[in-house]
Structure 1
Amino acid sequence: MPFLDGWGFLAEFNKLKLLITNKVNIYMVSSSMLESDKKRTDNLE
């Protein structure tokens, strides 16, 4: 993505989440093997 990575997108999306009335499903795919990235996904809703 030219301006944001996936984590940056989620941060911006969370700022708008209260304004969205429809359910939105977001699917992310990563090739990262970093344990820190795996732990970051534990807090996603």
Structure 2
Amino acid sequence: AYTAERKPETDELQRISRQGWSEDEVNDVFPGQKRPGEKVGVDE
């Protein structure tokens, strides 16, 4: 039940993050975390 309650909020935060972050910002905050070929929100 806990995870089910948390998920909508987490998904919303992730959606906002994907919309708001540029690829350079993602690389700056999470260096090396982006997998090759992974979709970045800015490209969509």
Q: Give yes or no for TM over 0.5.
A: no
Structure number, greater radius of gyration: 2
More helix by share: 2
Relative contact order (C-alpha < 8 Å, sep 6+): which is higher?
Answer: 1
The alignment's TM-score, normalised by the length of structure 2, stands at: 0.35
The alignment's TM-score, normalised by the length of structure 1, stands at: 0.34
